[in-house]
Amino acid sequence: MAKIAIVVFSDTNTIEAMGKVSNAFMLALEAVENGDDLKIIFEGAGTKWIGELEKEDHKLHGLYKVLKDKITGACSFCAQAFGVKNQVESAGINLISEYKQHPSLRNLITEGYSVINF
């Protein structure tokens, strides 16, 4: 069993960005199918994805719903800075503030996770 942490930094404003989130979700699905220990974290401009993915007409909404219970959380500082804190909270996604109001990526490394950024 692998320990995989997927961190989404990508903004929401380009087709390339949607491709990155789609690829992150494909890795996540593969990890789930193989029984891996998986964490998905939205960081930086990536926190903006939660509000977008909650929209039922979004192309990635279905994948998001399948994987939502694997989302560890979103950066507390960045969700506030990018004006999406209320959207993240409304979606029921945890706000993470382990290190200076950000998720601790170092903790993931010390816990043995392979950290993959999108």
Q: What is the mean pLDDT of each run of 10 residues along the chain (118 residues)?
A: 97 96 98 98 98 97 97 98 98 98 98 98
8 A C-beta contact, residue 70 and residue 28: yes
Q: Which two tokens stand for residue 19?
A: 């491709």
Cα maximum dimension of the chain: 39
The string of pLDDT tens digits covering residues 25-44 is: 999 999 999 999 999 999 99
Per-residue pLDDT, 68: 98
Q: Is 92 exposed, middle or buried (0-12, 13-18, 19+ CB in 10 A)?
A: exposed
Pairing state between β 95-96 and 114-117: unpaired
Per-residue pLDDT, 89: 98
Per-residue pLDDT, 4: 98
Per-residue pLDDT, 38: 98
* Percent above pLDDT 90 for the chain: 100
Count the neighbouring beta carbons within 10 Å of the beta carbon of residue 69.
8
Domains in the chain (CATH in brackets) are 3-117 (3.40.1260.10)
Only one residue has tokens 């903006």, namely 48
